[in-house]
Amino acid sequence: MNHSKIHLLIGLSEAIAAILLITPMIGMAAEDIKKPTTEPAATQRPLSLGGPGIQQEHSFAAISSGKWTGPRLADGQPDVQGHWSNTIANHDNFTDPQGGIPNDPNPNRRAKGPREQRAPSRVSDPGDGQVPFQPWALEKVKEFQANFNNPIKPQYIEPLARCAPAGVPKSLYWHGYEINQYPGYVVFLFNSGTRIIHLGDKPHLPESIKLWNGDSRGHWEGNTLVVDVANHNGKALFGRSGEFISENGHIQERYIFSNEQRDRYNYEAELTDPSVYTRPFTITIPARKWTEKDKPNGWHFEVEPATHAGKEIILDQYERICAENNGGFGLVAEEGKK
Quote the CA–CA distance of 329 and 154 in Å, as a whole number: 7
Is residue 18 pLDDT above 80, yes or no? no
Strands 185-190 and 215-221: unpaired
Position with higher pLDDT, 291 vs 336: 291
At 208 the pLDDT is 95
pTM above 0.85, yes or no: no
Average pLDDT over every residue of 105-131 = 86
CA 213 – CA 193 distance, rounded (Å):
9
Rounded Cα–Cα distance for residues 331 and 66 (Å): 41
Instruction: State how far Cα 176 lies from the chain centre.
Output: 9
Identify the CA nearest to 67 among candidates 256, 285, 267.
Answer: 256
Mean per-residue pLDDT of the chain: 82
Q: Strand ranges (DSSP E) for 242-302?
A: 250-257, 264-272, 281-290
The more confidently predicted of residues 212 and 11 is 212
* Distance separating alpha carbons of residues 134 and 132, to the nearest angstrom: 7
| Higher-pLDDT residue of 131, 37 | 131
The region that residue 105 occupies, defined by phi over 0 for left and psi between -120 and 50 for alpha, beta otherwise, is: alpha
Instruction: State the DSSP H helix or E strand holding residue 55, giving kind and residue range, or none if neither.
Output: none
Instruction: Name residue 209's amino acid.
Output: I
Q: What does the pLDDT read at residue 24?
A: 36
> Is it the case that residue 38 has pLDDT exceeding 50?
no
pLDDT band for 231, please (50, 70, 90 cuts). very high
